[in-house]
Amino acid sequence: MRLVILDDRTSVADNEQAALSPPQTEPVRRNENLCQIPEFVGKKEGRHRVEDGRNCTCCPFIFSSREDLVDGVGGWPPGALTCHEVFHGVDMAIRQKDPAFHWKVADAYERHKARGTLGSIYASTNRDEYMAEMVVVYCGLSTDELTEVGLRDRQTLRDMAPEAFALIEGYIANSQ
């Protein structure tokens, strides 16, 4: 997994070029393109690499911005966006090792929604955004939107979303 920090002072083309590894000079099929990234090492067939049983499911890049790390973006505290986006990659990596993690998070999400305390905030969108937002709270970077529904810190996360809290503690915070 790679964290790519974009700088808004450079062009979109420069940012895209920085994310390519190695730069592509010819069109290739999607999986062949992804498998040229070291995180997707696959077998080589002819001139191209092809995925080899992993289905290219690990997120190769996590995009954030320099501005997020310095000042925060969109009203979020500094680092919150990066934390949120990094978790999407972590989620994919965990699911490769333990596919049941997908359903454990989905269950935590459904239980929290059923309690009616999420409202229509971004975390209520789906299991992926839900868990990324719960990790943001766990890391002490709660956004205004999360704070408005009572998710301010680890203690409120433990009280309001015990299933998500347990998953974070078990899979991320205390992982070996």
Nearest alpha carbon to residue 145 among 134, 161, 158, 159 = 134
- Using one digit for the tens of pLDDT, what is the confidence trace for 54-91? 444 444 566 777 888 888 888 889 999 999 988 998 89
- Return the SS3 of 46: coil
- Using one digit for the tens of pLDDT, what is the confidence trace for 95-110? 888 889 999 999 999 9
Instruction: Give the residues across from 44 on adjacent strands.
Output: 49
Q: Enter the pTM of the model.
A: 0.69
Q: Tell me which H or E stretch contains 96.
A: helix 80-97
Nearest alpha carbon to residue 109 among 91, 121, 127 = 127
- Read off the DSSP letter of residue 174: T
- Using one digit for the tens of pLDDT, what is the confidence trace for 124-170? 999 999 999 999 999 999 999 999 999 999 999 999 999 999 999 99
H helical segments located in 98-149: 100-115, 127-138, 144-148
What does R_g of the chain's alpha carbons equal in angstroms? Answer: 18
